[in-house]
Structure 1
């Protein structure tokens, strides 16, 4: 549905919020739903006894398969929605799954079976209720906690609007 243009890749180098290395400190900032994007982030939240309301995982970290301990912690009986999301894209399947997972009353895991979840942070910010916290990994630095505010939503929408493809249809899929 949407593809990240090469000239926009640099916009994702800088974290969209504060970087945390201490999970408890990160969780002290959480007031509403927590949406985790990434296997290692989800692992850290779960081992701190806070199962994210929504987790988006793909079985990889830094393009390599996650280890057995992470895989074990990420397995479980939460409802799962499997999607495909090719690298450097946001597929319609992923966007619809995010919307469904955020709207669910159950802790839900969106599993990217083919492709990657790297760009799911922006649509997660857009579908999350104001007051939520979207958490994603910043490689070799820690976890980024993005408080979902009206400004964060505006910034995420402006970035997504620069993707190649049918952004209006993408926003419609997200219900925004």
Structure 2
């Protein structure tokens, strides 16, 4: 993992995947966790603070609409296709850039640390994932502050806006607890212990 920012490096004593999505839990992610927007202006008007965005297309839409997310997570891929350069979101101007690896259907400890640190700092940050960032919204729901907006893409539908409250936070933590893996290590990485 490489932190290109000016702040402290994210320090992990171990690397690797801590949680994986079991087949029986995949259905829990089919339905959007919040309202779906297709209009950038309506979405921008609904955003709280901080703004956390997971996905290249959503990040591109918001930056082109004049919103610089406080934390963006991108992987240069949408719907399993690599984005051409002219369709990639603009990530210039972020105060911190963190490069890391994360597998499909999994959550690596580095990604969980990056989310925790990105949400916990006042500086803007972009996490560039080598692999997949699809599940990153779930731990963001679990740790984002009350009133924050987490936005992610719903393939073929639009941009899902989740306003964080106690109910969504507990729902996300419940889903994380049903994933396979080392739950204690995941909670520590997210600062939930």
TM-score > 0.5 by shorter chain: yes
Q: CA deviation at 1:70?
A: 2.4
What residue is the counterpart of 1:167 in the other structure?
183
Q: CA deviation at 1:168?
A: 2.2
Helix, strand or coil: the match of 1:161? helix
- Please give the alpha-carbon distance, in whole angstroms, between the structure 2 residues aligned to 1:31 and 1:122: 18
- Please give the alpha-carbon distance, in whole angstroms, between the structure 2 residues aligned to 1:74 and 1:19: 23
Alignment length (residue pairs): 174
What residue is the counterpart of 1:74 in the other structure?
90
What residue is the counterpart of 1:26 in the other structure?
43
Q: CA deviation at 1:83?
A: 1.0
What residue is the counterpart of 2:6 in the other structure?
none
TM superposition outliers: structure 1 runs of 4+ over 4 Å: none
What residue is the counterpart of 1:6 in the other structure?
23
**2:104 pairs with 1:92:** no
TM value normalised by structure 2: 0.87
Q: Which runs of 5+ in 2 are unaligned?
A: 1-17
Helix, strand or coil: the match of 2:46? coil
What residue is the counterpart of 2:133 in the other structure?
117
Contact 2:102 2:133 survives alignment (8 Å)? yes
Contact 2:99 2:129 survives alignment (8 Å)? yes
C-alpha RMSD of the superposition: 1.0
Q: Which runs of 5+ in 1 are unaligned?
A: none
Helix, strand or coil: the match of 1:28? helix
